Amino acid sequence: MSRPTTAPVPLPTELRERILDEALGLMAERGSAGTSMRQLADACGVRVAALYHYFESKNALLEAVIAERNYGRRNIVPIRFDPSATAPQRLRELFNQMWRGALEEESVWRLLLGEAIRGESCALPVGREFLKTVLPGISEFVHSWVPELTDPDAAADVVLAELFLGFIRHLFEPGLDPAELGDEIGDRLVRALLG
């Protein structure tokens, strides 16, 4: 007599990661207030009590989702570029690499921006940490990639502002092709920063 097969029980770290991934998807789509622990448990195929084993509250879960799925850490990874390219080409490529990264992490951006706009207290320190990590990283990239720019810190502010604006346009104008939008912003950065 054969035994019925059951799905393997995930290891604790695997389950925690799955909970964070599912929570990110649900909360990015519905907001944290619109996502119940019951909905999340159902999406993960676990009981609500399992969620509370890993996260003492929904707020702690939201905090972990934002902090542990934070795009800002990705921006400190060194980026490769062609040093023989012109300054405008290097600036465009810098922005386009960051833009593609933001699009790959769209759920994190949606959640972080949405929760910050709603004033979720746990989103604000993570957002501040994001800026504290990302701005110096962008400034360093600008200084390395486009040394022709005399004020890398000001240029980093403009690049980050354009990244946020691009993402907001991506959300509000879903018919725009993201690659074309990235190219448009890259061209605007070249005009604004390099003349």
Mean pLDDT, residues 118-128 taken together: 79
How many domains does one find in the chain? 2
149-181 per-residue burial string, b: 16 or more CB within 10 A, e: under 16:
beebeebbebbbebbeebbeebeeeeeeebeeb
Clarify whether residues 133 and 54 are in a common domain.
Answer: no
Token reading at 46: 């676990």
Residue 187 included in any domain: yes
Residue 3 included in any domain: no
Q: Which residues contact 149 (CB under 8 A, 6 or more apart)?
A: 87, 91, 142, 143, 155, 193, 194
Give the best-scoring range by mean pLDDT among 10-14, 65-69, 154-158. Answer: 154-158
Give the best-scoring range by mean pLDDT among 28-37, 75-84, 144-153. Answer: 144-153
Residue owning tokens 């890259």: 186
Identify the pLDDT of residue 11: 55
Q: What is the largest CA-CA distance in the chain?
A: 78
Clarify whether residues 76 and 63 are in a common domain.
Answer: no
Clarify whether residues 93 and 60 are in a common domain.
Answer: no
Clarify whether residues 109 and 43 are in a common domain.
Answer: no
Residue that is last in its domain, among 68, 90, 105: 68
User: Could you give the 3-state DSSP secondary structure of residue 140?
Assistant: helix
Residue 4 included in any domain: no
For residue range 54-92, list pLDDT tens digits in order.
Answer: 999 888 888 888 777 655 555 555 677 888 999 999 999
Clarify whether residues 109 and 168 are in a common domain.
Answer: yes
Clarify whether residues 29 and 80 are in a common domain.
Answer: no
For residue range 33-56, list pLDDT tens digits in order.
Answer: 889 999 999 999 999 999 999 999
Residue 2 included in any domain: no
C-alpha to C-alpha distance for 137 and 123, rounded to whole angstroms: 21
Residue 105 included in any domain: yes
- Containing domain of residue 164, as a range? 71-194
Residue 141 half-sphere exposure, CB side, CA atoms within 13 Å? 27
Identify the pLDDT of residue 74: 54
